Structure 1
Amino acid sequence: MSVTARAARSGQSVSPRVLLVVRDYPGYVVAELAWASGRELEEVLAWLGWPRAREAGELVSVRERLQARSNDYWLLEAAMAALELPEAGRGLPVLPGVSVVVSARGAQSVLAGTVGSVVEAAEGLPGRTAWECVVVDDLSETPLRLPAGLPPQVRLVRAAERVYRGGARNLGQGLSRQPVTVFIDDDLQMAPNYLREHVVRHLLSPCLVTVSGRMEYLEPAVPRPGRLPCGRQGSADAFRRLGAGGMVGPREVYRLVGRGDLVASRPLAEVGFPPDYVAYGPEDETFVAKALSRGAFVVPVAGTGVFRCGYRRTGDLVSQDMARVDAFLENMGRQEVHLDAPADGGWAAAR
């Protein structure tokens, strides 16, 4: 399924309609979501998230695009209501295939829990839904190993050099095959309904980035509870207010993401993460800013989430406090450069 805008001509006037159609078969109209009588087609396209350039042919930055558009994802909600989809996607024969990319370094003590949660979440998908899990070892000092007994959909690759979290995610994305990608850190464990709750939304639109609505910290060696995580990502109003002519910077985007997991359709996932962040970097926020500037929506999924295990990563400057602060400040400076770079270009190194 996907959402499209179509102009219906009546005499000399043009009245745009917003339709729910079957993806790859645009003539198959499932439902009419909105009738925009008396509105300009450009305004309807803005509802769909298409940003407007200030002038034709002008290079517009990521930041300018964000300030020129809204993140009001009402069309997704209208599409789910039109199809009467249950929140968890039960009753659907199949969902889009999903690839889970786990970026890992020095995570042997928690890797079994992370991968085990992925396998459990995959078991909750409709029976014919394809899935895979790619664990990327970011050149751990002691090479990582997968626990025994995992299904063949789970595999481990080792980077040839340190690429840090963003680079590890890019490497995993390049090795994945499915139309939806979950990027998740090595110390996070999915709730059992995680994949089902996220992927059902990507059935409806190829221009979404979904983020979990819940995260709960676990003490070291505490097993994952058999319930949903406690805690909230933030109000839906905070997501809807992003942009719409207001100031947008790292702080505003960080309020929406920055928890170590996000889910994107393949065209957005292939935008990739900035290649120049080291140690602790704002990869998620910068990626989401770029995706939003290209017409995507960032959507919270309130009914699922992740547990974060209480362990200290190795090799990420955790024992070098001043070096860690310096690296963080340098990365924030790089992020400012990325936000002011052209939205439609690739990631230029901002060293």
Structure 2
Amino acid sequence: MSTNVLFPSGVCPSAVQPSAARERWARHGFAPLEVLVEVVVAPGWVRLAGPARTSWLARSGRWVPMNPAAVQAMASDWQTVSARVLVVVRDEPGSVVAELGSAPVGTSAEVLGWLGWPTVREAGRPVSVRDRFGARSNDYWLLEAAMEALGLPEAAGDLPVLPGISVVASARGAQSVLAGTVGSVIEAAGRLPGRTPWECIVVDDLSTSPLRLPEGLPQQVRLVRASERVYRGGARNLGQSLAAHPVTVFLDDDLQMAPDYLLEHAVRHLLWPDLITVSGREEYLEPDAPTPQRLPHGKQTPGGAGHLRDIGAGSRVGPREVYELVMRGDIVASRSVADVGFPPDYVAYGPEDGTFVAKALSCGAFVVPVPETGLYRRGYHRTGNLVAQDAARTAAFVANLERQERHFDAPADAGWAGAR
């Protein structure tokens, strides 16, 4: 992968042999992993997880679970801590696969910040999505360090299985491109390790002419039709309610995956439990142009991958900043993140992707670009849209931006306030 991981000041990287780490991992059946930070404080040994995960306290020779509120209460008494960064089997804090680094001294806020905790105490009052997101860092160096320690993604093809993947394609009036979109999913699924389960759910958002799948598709592909018009966010929520696997790809109907798309995204979700990944590149194709047998060209992540690390971390967060996180029409989310759901009150042309991501990040997720793969966008004329004229389209978009501002100012830990 050659990430050249940039460790924070004061963290000393450990020398890890990827082959040895994978050998230890193999003894656990290549189970999903997570990164914990072990600290030594007054209560004893604590292995910290992200704010949406269970942390652990060593007591009487075993690891006792701690919920996020207990971690915050305990951390308020910490001044400085020593820390070790560990890759462990998910939900088994004593099963260490690799040690990534150590920090002799650090503050509790700094150490928790590595894992996506807010850098300020919230004093028990309701906190908005905007405030919570702005008070935490999206610096995903821990994930990069874990990937480097295990030699991923280069070694991903040698793994026997990856997390099961559900692809949810929201579609309306997309008959002309549907075969290409579904075909690209099937081809990408063929690149997954042999025991990896997958499915593709196409959600027809009440197209004027009901959509039809091509004949002869694998049984993993199915089509469902919404009973009423739910727009893209609602269609994605419907698909997620039917999804069976721990990772979900949300895909626009005019996008085609590169052949390595599912493999590159899924391997990252194997190492981090609360994660959003987005493609690093996209190339636009004319409606009748052949799909190239190569990775997509076109724009890469705005400002480079490092740009995404700077979102939040004390800066103001608004529509523009969030839009720069997800601007390609694909979102790959861990189950716990996908179940947050998309805001259901946007109609027609709406910023549901960015609003969903802001909400997820305010709850502790990270958003990470995947530069090794990408998408082709197949240009076509969408039919049946409610906004056929530019003036109406603009008015709908402005109304949705007003809804987005309300969602940003709503409590981070509540549902979609004010949504229909």
CA distance in 2, matches of 1:7, 1:260: 39
Query: Which structure: larger Rg?
Result: 2
Residue 63 (structure 1) aligns with: 130
Asked if the contact 1:60–1:343 (Cα under 8 Å) also holds between the matched residues in 2, the reply is yes
The counterpart of 2:178, out of the listed 94, 107, 111, is 111
Secondary structure in 2 matching 1:141: coil
Residue 154 (structure 1) aligns with: 221
CA distance in 2, matches of 1:150, 1:67: 45
Structure 2 length-normalised TM: 0.81
Aligned ranges for residues 214-253 of structure 1 at < 5 Å? 214-231=281-298, 232-234=300-302, 235-253=304-322
Letter in 1 for 2:178: L
Secondary structure in 2 matching 1:76: helix
Asked if the contact 2:110–2:119 (Cα under 8 Å) also holds between the matched residues in 1, the reply is no
1:180 correspondence with 2:247: yes
The counterpart of 2:234, out of the listed 167, 170, 177, is 167
Percent of aligned positions that are identical: 70
Q: Offset of 1:54 from its aligned partner?
A: 3.7
Q: Offset of 1:154 from its aligned partner?
A: 0.3
Q: Which moved more, 1:127-136 or 1:248-257?
A: 248-257
Q: Which moved more, 1:311-320 or 1:260-269?
A: 311-320
Q: Offset of 1:343 from its aligned partner?
A: 0.7
Asked if the contact 1:277–1:331 (Cα under 8 Å) also holds between the matched residues in 2, the reply is yes
Asked if the contact 2:153–2:264 (Cα under 8 Å) also holds between the matched residues in 1, the reply is no
Secondary structure in 2 matching 1:145: coil
CA distance in 1, matches of 2:387, 2:274: 36
Residue 256 (structure 2) aligns with: 189
Residue 345 (structure 1) aligns with: 414
Asked if the contact 1:258–1:282 (Cα under 8 Å) also holds between the matched residues in 2, the reply is no
Residue 36 (structure 2) aligns with: 4
Asked if the contact 1:16–1:41 (Cα under 8 Å) also holds between the matched residues in 2, the reply is no
Residue 21 (structure 1) aligns with: 88
Count of equivalent residues:
351
CA distance in 2, matches of 1:294, 1:55: 13
Aligned ranges for residues 8-157 of structure 1 at < 5 Å? 8=40, 14-52=81-119, 54-87=121-154, 89-157=156-224
Q: Which moved more, 1:174-183 or 1:61-70?
A: 61-70
Residue 303 (structure 1) aligns with: 372
Letter in 2 for 1:79: A
Letter in 1 for 2:308: F
Q: Which digits, 9 at most, give the CA deviation of each residue in 1:125-162, with x for residues without a partner?
A: 00000000000000001000100110000000000000
Residue 258 (structure 1) aligns with: 327
1 or 2 for the larger relative contact order (CA 8 Å, sep ≥6)?
A: 1
Asked if the contact 1:208–1:296 (Cα under 8 Å) also holds between the matched residues in 2, the reply is yes
Letter in 2 for 1:191: A
Asked if the contact 1:273–1:283 (Cα under 8 Å) also holds between the matched residues in 2, the reply is yes
Asked if the contact 1:88–1:196 (Cα under 8 Å) also holds between the matched residues in 2, the reply is no
Residue 326 (structure 1) aligns with: 395
CA distance in 2, matches of 1:253, 1:295: 15
Asked if the contact 1:100–1:133 (Cα under 8 Å) also holds between the matched residues in 2, the reply is yes
Secondary structure in 2 matching 1:29: strand
Residue 271 (structure 2) aligns with: 204
Asked if the contact 1:88–1:193 (Cα under 8 Å) also holds between the matched residues in 2, the reply is no
Asked if the contact 2:344–2:419 (Cα under 8 Å) also holds between the matched residues in 1, the reply is no
Asked if the contact 1:103–1:169 (Cα under 8 Å) also holds between the matched residues in 2, the reply is yes
Q: Which digits, 9 at most, give the CA deviation of each residue in 1:145-197, with x for residues without a partner?
A: 10011000000000000000000000000001100000000000000000000
Distance change >3 Å, CA 325–CA 222, structure 1 → 2: same
Distance change >3 Å, CA 11–CA 321, structure 1 → 2: closer
Secondary structure in 1 matching 2:345: coil
Asked if the contact 2:153–2:267 (Cα under 8 Å) also holds between the matched residues in 1, the reply is no
Letter in 2 for 1:140: S
CA distance in 2, matches of 1:318, 1:192: 34
Structure 1 length-normalised TM: 0.96
Q: Which digits, 9 at most, give the CA deviation of each residue in 1:247-305, with x for residues without a partner?
A: 11110111121211010000000000001000011011001101111111110000111
Secondary structure in 2 matching 1:257: coil
- What root-mean-square deviation, in Å, do the aligned CA atoms of Structure 1 and Structure 2 show? 1.6
Q: Offset of 1:313 from its aligned partner?
A: 1.2
Q: Give unpaired runs (5+ residues) of structure 2.
A: 1-32, 45-79
Q: Offset of 1:199 from its aligned partner?
A: 0.5
Letter in 1 for 2:182: V
CA distance in 2, matches of 1:237, 1:229: 21
CA distance in 2, matches of 1:166, 1:133: 17
Distance change >3 Å, CA 281–CA 10, structure 1 → 2: closer
Asked if the contact 1:6–1:16 (Cα under 8 Å) also holds between the matched residues in 2, the reply is yes
